[in-house]
Structure 1
Amino acid sequence: MGSADAVLKPLTVESDTGELPGGHPYVRAGSGSRSLVILPGFGDAMFPGTYPPLSGLALAPYVARYLDEYAVYLLSRPRGLPAGYDADDAVATHARALESIGDASDAVDVIGISMGGLIGQALAREEPDLVDRLVLANSACRLDDDARPTVRQFERDAREHDWASIRSKLAAAMFTDGRAVVYPFVFQTAGRVFQPRPAEPADVWRSLEFILGFDGCDELGSIDRPTLVFGGERDPFFTPALARKTAAELPNGELELVPGAKHGAFHERKWRFDSRVRSFFER
C-alpha cells in the first residue's frame, strides 16, 4: 500500500457510534471481515460516556494498520458501575457486547489495555468462545505490590473529584519523552478547566478498586486462548517481572517487552506495538 493510500484510507473509512448490549458505549472504525475489540484502561471512566457521531474519524488514523482486515471497536465500560464492581460483573456485560458484534458465532480478537487487559483475561477464561486471540497491552495478571500506594492515591483523588491530579500523575507514569513533563503541567493548569469530566464520578474509584482487587495469577492456566503480553521494561504498574510471569504461565503465552518504555509503551512505541500485534494476529 502506498503512503497516499495509508493517509486517505482512514478519512474514508466507515464508522459509527452507539451503545451495545450491557450498556457499553462504543465507537467503530472500519468494516473488515474480522472484528477487533479494544478494551481501554481505567481512564475510560473519566469521560462523559458517549461518543460524538464523528468519533470514528478520529479513531481511524490511530487504528489504520488494522483497517484492511478489521472492523475495530473501542468498547467503553458501562456508566454507573455497581458498588463492588468485579471480574464477574465485567464478564457479564462484556460478554453480551461481544456477542452482539458481527456474527455472534465468531470469536473476536481483543486488545486489553491496562485495566482492559484484566477484563480481557477474565473474558478469555470465562467465555473462551467469544475471544479468538488476546493482547494484554501494559497489563498482567495483577497490579504490582509497589504500585498499590499510587493507585490508592488515585482513588483518594477520585473521591475528591481531582481529575487533573489523576491525569497528571498517570501521564508521568506512562511517558518517557517530553510528554512526561508537559502533560502533567497542562493537566494541572488548562486541563482543570477544559478536560472532560466523568459522567459518573463513582465509576472512577470503582474502576480503581477493581484494579486493586483483581488477581488472576493463579488462574492463568485456565486461559487457553493465544495471548500476547506487551509491556515496557519500566512500567511501574505491571512490571516486567509480572509480565514475564503472566506470559510464562499462560498455556499459549508470548512476551514482548520494550526497553526503556513505561506504562504507555503501547502508545508511545505504537509502530512497534502495531507491528507485533499484527504479526501475532496473522499467525
Structure 2
Amino acid sequence: MEASDETWDSGMACMRLGSGAPLVLLPGLSSDHRGPEGFDRKAQLGAMAPYAAHREVWWVNRLTGLAAGTTIADLARAYATALRARFDVPVDVMGTSTGGSIALQLAADHPDVVRRLVLISSAHRLGPGRRVQRDAAAEVRAGRPRRAMAGLAAATAAHGWSRRLLWIAGWLLEPAMRGRGHDGHSYDDMLIVIDAEDRFDLSDRLADIRCPVLVVGGDRDGFYSPDLFAKTADGVANGQLALYPGVGHVGVVRIRQLPGDVLDFLDP
C-alpha cells in the first residue's frame, strides 16, 4: 500500500493512505507543522495502516506560520475550511492529543463537516498536561529546547522506568527535531499551539456536539485523567468511552484492539 505526500490548497501538509470512505487524522503536538520525515513518517504511516485497510486515511497537519494569539477555535476553523474544500459530505475525524482538542472544537463550531468523531488521548480540556506543556514552552523560550522535549516525552509514559527512558530519548532526539527549522524558528508554531491549548476548555460547549463521539484514553495518562475522559464522553449528546488500563498517553495507539474499536464505532 503506497502512501502519497501532498499539500492541500490551504497549505496544510498531509499524507494519504488506503481507499474507501475518508477518515481524517489530526495529529498531536509537534515541533513544527511540516510533513513528517524519517522515523516520524514511518511511525505515522504505521499508525494509519490498520485504518487504511478499510478507509482512505488522511493525516493532515496544522497550518505553518501561525500568528501569535491563535486559538484552538482558529485552528478548527482552518480545518473546517480545508475539509469543505476537499470533501462534499461530512467526514469521520480522529484527533490525537492536541489534535483531539482541535477536533472537538471542530465538531462544536462546524458540525457540517464532522460525521463521527474519535478522540485519542484527548478531552475537553487538559489536566496535568497543562503544567507539562507550560513548562516545556518556558524551557524553549529560555533557550533550553532539549529539556523541553525531554519533559514532554517523559509525560507520555505510563510508568516510572519508562518515564526515565523517554526523558533521555527526548533529550537525545531534540537536535534532529530542531534541525528541521530552515530559519532558526522551528518551534514557533509549537509554542503558539501550546499557548492556545493552555486556554482551551470546552466544558460549556460539550452539549452542543451532536455527532457520535468515541473517547479513548489510558488510565495512566500524564496529560489527562480518567475523570476528564469520562466527563467528555458523558457531556456530549452521543458519547462513548473506551478506557484502557495500565496505559499512558502514547501507549493507547499501540493497543491491539484500538483499530477494531475505532472501526466498529465508525461503522456500527
In 2, Cα distance between the equivalents of 1:67 and 1:264?
20
Q: Is the 8 A contact 1:35 1:72 kept in 2?
A: yes
1:6-40 Cα offsets, whole Å, 9 max, x none, are xxxxxxx232112113321111112x121111111
Q: Is the 8 A contact 1:29 1:56 kept in 2?
A: no
User: Matched residue of 2:24: which SS?
Assistant: strand
Task: Report deviation, 1:151.
Answer: 2.1
Q: Is the 8 A contact 1:138 1:232 kept in 2?
A: yes
Q: Is the 8 A contact 2:132 2:152 kept in 1?
A: no
Task: Report deviation, 1:198.
Answer: 5.8
In 2, Cα distance between the equivalents of 1:74 and 1:196?
22
Change (3 A) 1:18 1:64: closer
User: Matched residue of 1:63: which SS?
Assistant: helix
Aligned counterpart in structure 1 of residue 244 of structure 2, from 252, 258, 269: 258
Task: State the AA in 2 paired with 1:205.
Answer: L
In structure 2, stretches of 5+ residues that fail to align are none
- Give the match for residue 234 of structure 2: 248
- Give the match for residue 23 of structure 2: 36
In 2, Cα distance between the equivalents of 1:228 and 1:259?
17
Aligned counterpart in structure 2 of residue 71 of structure 1, from 43, 53, 56: 56
Task: Report deviation, 1:80.
Answer: 0.9
1:110-153 Cα offsets, whole Å, 9 max, x none, are 11111111110111112112111101111111112x44332211
In 2, Cα distance between the equivalents of 1:220 and 1:231?
18
- Give the match for residue 281 of structure 1: 266
1:148-167 superposed matches below 5 A: 148-167=130-149
In 1, Cα distance between the equivalents of 2:135 and 2:177?
20
Change (3 A) 1:162 1:37: farther
RMSD (Å) for aligned C-alpha atoms: 2.4
1:171-210 superposed matches below 5 A: 171-176=153-158, 179-188=162-171, 190-197=172-179, 199=181, 200-210=186-196
1:145-186 Cα offsets, whole Å, 9 max, x none, are x44332211110221353332322222222236643333213
Q: Verify: 1:95 aligned to 2:80, yes or no.
A: yes
1:31-60 Cα offsets, whole Å, 9 max, x none, are x12111111111x2x14614569x977644
Change (3 A) 1:123 1:250: same
1:229-267 Cα offsets, whole Å, 9 max, x none, are 101112132211111111111100000111111212322
1:213-242 Cα offsets, whole Å, 9 max, x none, are 001011000000100010111213221111
- Give the match for residue 3 of structure 1: none
User: Matched residue of 2:215: which SS?
Assistant: strand
Q: Give the % identical residues.
A: 30
Task: State the AA in 2 paired with 1:274.
Answer: P
Change (3 A) 1:280 1:218: same
Aligned residues: 263
TM-score normalised to the size of structure 1? 0.84
Q: Verify: 1:226 aligned to 2:212, yes or no.
A: yes
Change (3 A) 1:81 1:280: same
Q: Verify: 1:16 aligned to 2:19, yes or no.
A: no
